[in-house]
Amino acid sequence: MTDRPSDIAAPPAPERQTADRVALYDALLSLKTRTEMDAFLADLCTPAEVRAFAERWAVARLLDEKSKSYREIAQAAGTSPTTVVRVARFLKEMPHQGYRLVLDRTPRKV
């Protein structure tokens, strides 16, 4: 049996996507411990997705230290130089500044 165009679900409307995103944010904000966060992310994401999040966050922290080259950061974080460049661009140029917000709010390990 093949999928006919009428059998394929249409993408959700933008307002539905926005409501779903807000619901996700509220769900994340409701978590109180690392254990709760781990359980939720294990259910929500694939192991590869969680690893990708962790790698990007490691890259952001290493970039913020300003002590290693991009190649050294990629090696230390176990990721590609492309990921390092992408995270660096978001840290420096993008208007969201989400990485910066969280880096400034989290204690630095000495």
DSSP string, 35-93: HHHHHHHHHHS-HHHHHHHHHHHHHHHHHHHT-S-HHHHHHHHTS-HHHHHHHHHHHHT
Using a pLDDT cut of 90, give the percent of the chain over it: 79
Per-residue tokens: 65: 């230290």
Cα separation, 86 vs 59, in Å, equals: 10
Ramachandran category for residue 66: left, alpha or beta (phi over 0 → left; psi -120 to 50 → alpha): left
Q: What is the mean pLDDT of residues 22-26?
A: 96
Q: What is the pTM assigned to this prediction?
A: 0.80
**84 contacts 77 by C-beta, under 8 angstroms:** yes
Residue 101 has pLDDT above 60, yes or no: yes
Q: Residues 30-64: pLDDT tens digits?
A: 999 999 999 999 999 999 999 999 999 999 999 99
